[in-house]
């Protein structure tokens, strides 16, 4: 199973990856700064607590803990989160493809899962969009089933895929660093 990122010019792959990672970090940091007032006793993890509410009662409790200004911030974050999935899924997808290449060149295990993981990030982004729509509906006053449940299930799927991709990329980075230090020791 190949991925379109495998067709990129190798000369530019790392530059694209670095650009996308920087963009993802900037957007994520912006959302964290904007969302800092969303951390309350009912939402100890801010917007993440809202994503994982899983029930109308808990979603309403989170919203009630915020107040009007914080609710506006939550709505703004939902708007910004319609850009974020494009950026993080591209960044991590490219990272998975680059990792697969590193593993393939070093004949290491899991080289073949890079492209499927990259495709999985498309699913993560799709789940993020569905989650965002459900959370926006809740913020617009539709605090009823199935919106909190849909948001929660999509958040679980999204974060599982993202954490798996990040783990895979870190695995490739460790392999690369170990191989580089072994090559330097040999010379």
Number of domains observed in the structure of the chain:
1
User: How much of the chain exceeds pLDDT 90, in percent?
Assistant: 84
Residue 130 lies in a domain: yes
Residue 4 lies in a domain: no
Residue 18 lies in a domain: no
From CA 173, how far away is CA 82, in angstroms rounded? 29
Residue 10 lies in a domain: no
Cis peptide before 146 (omega within 30 of 0): yes
Residue 153 lies in a domain: yes
pLDDT tens readout for residues 11-50: 889 999 999 999 999 999 999 999 999 999 999 999 999 9
Residue 146 lies in a domain: yes
Q: What is the mean pLDDT of residues 104-129?
A: 95
pLDDT tens readout for residues 61-95: 999 999 999 999 999 999 999 999 999 999 999 99
Residue 37 carries which DSSP code? G
Kindly indicate the confidence band of residue 185, based on its pLDDT and cuts at 50, 70 and 90.
low
Residue 7 lies in a domain: no
The angle formed by the CA atoms of residues 139, 143 and 144, to the nearest 5 degrees, is: 145
Residue 52 lies in a domain: yes
Domain encompassing residue 103: 23-32+44-177
Run of H or E including 135: helix 114-139
Kindly report whether the global pTM for this prediction surpasses the value 0.85.
yes
């Amino acid at each position: 199973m190949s991925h379109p990122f495998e067709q990129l010019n190798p000369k530019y792959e790392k530059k694209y990856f670095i650009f996308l990672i920087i963009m993802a970090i900037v957007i994520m940091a912006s959302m964290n700064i904007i969302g800092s007032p969303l951390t309350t006793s009912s939402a100890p993890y801010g917007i993440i607590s809202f994503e994982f509410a899983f029930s109308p009662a808990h979603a309403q409790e989170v919203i009630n803990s915020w107040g009007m200004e914080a609710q506006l911030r939550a709505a703004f974050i939902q708007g910004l989160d319609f850009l974020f999935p494009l950026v993080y899924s591209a960044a991590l997808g490219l990272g998975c493809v680059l990792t697969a290449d590193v593993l393939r060149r070093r004949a290491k295990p899991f080289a073949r899962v890079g492209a499927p993981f990259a495709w999985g990030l498309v699913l993560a982004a799709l789940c993020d969009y569905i989650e965002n729509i459900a959370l926006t509906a809740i913020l617009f006053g539709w605090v009823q089933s199935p919106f909190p449940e849909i948001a929660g299930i999509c958040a679980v799927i999204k974060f599982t895929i993202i954490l798996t991709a990040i783990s895979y990329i870190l695995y490739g980075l460790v392999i690369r660093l170990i191989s580089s230090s072994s090559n330097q020791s040999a010379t």
